[in-house]
Amino acid sequence: MKVKRGSKYKKLLLEIARCDEIEKVLRKENIPCAKIIKSQSNYKTAYFQVPEPWSGHLNKAPILFIGSNPSISKNSKCPTRNNNDKYIYDFFTKRLIDKNSNRYWCAVSGMVEELLPKKKIQQDKNKYYALTEVVHCKSKGEKGVKEARLKCSELYLRDIVKASNAKVVVVLGKKAKKVITKLLKSEWSEISKGIYSTLCGNYERCLVFLSHPSPANTHSNAAKTFTDAVKKRVINSEGLELLKKMVKNRLQIYFP
């Protein structure tokens, strides 16, 4: 029987959330992901918060943001090991409709407004973007990201980008940039200042690198928005218009 795209998409999400690397740590294997998994003190219990595959409708959203790793909160409603597959799938795919976004999501939402046509901003812009990370396990202060990032990205990142509908992929921060560069640099070409084209999953994607919007990132030359990137000559105005055009073309197909 032919497998529908949606079922493949769901399979990938659950594969990441139920990552086999966690079981290896429970078996006391010394692997790159051990530090970040053990950063949750309850990692041996059913209350361990599962890795976050992505947030939003990855298979429809024309913009994909890639960060370093998700933070963790004890008060979060995020799925744990004892939740069933349906809860996990629904939580992550519908998550962006939650208006109580954290500061990181608010910053990303502002970047989305810079790329969307004005009439779309008046609607629910949450469906037009998705977020993922190079490391999917949760931790405070990016603990364990350095050790886990190559292993985790080799396992999942390319498949996530392939599964996505995104024409514009925005990479946030130095850690994410290092991983994307290692994985894709041999496959991309610069088509405008600071904007790179790569073929991934039979789609041409535009890659652009911005600084992480975290308030802790105080580097004076860091461009945290597209407008700021133009001012600081990270990209040029023609490149920004190109990104807007790529998003608009995708919207006309999936969100006419």
Spell out a b/e string for 23-54, using b for 16 or more CB atoms within 10 Å of the CB, else e.
eebeeeeeebbbbbbebbeebeeeebbbbbbb
pLDDT at 185: 86
The residue type of 91 is: F
Q: For every one of its 256 residues, what pLDDT tens digit does the chain have, with 9 covering 90 and above?
A: 233 445 788 999 999 999 999 999 999 999 999 999 999 999 999 999 999 999 998 988 999 999 999 988 876 789 999 999 999 999 999 887 555 567 888 889 899 999 987 776 666 777 889 999 999 999 998 999 999 999 999 999 999 999 999 999 999 999 999 999 998 888 899 999 999 999 988 788 999 999 988 766 656 567 989 999 999 999 999 999 999 999 988 877 666 6
Among the listed residues 24, 5, 25, the one whose alpha carbon sits nearest the alpha carbon of residue 13: 5
The sign of the CA dihedral 81, 104, 146, 74 is negative
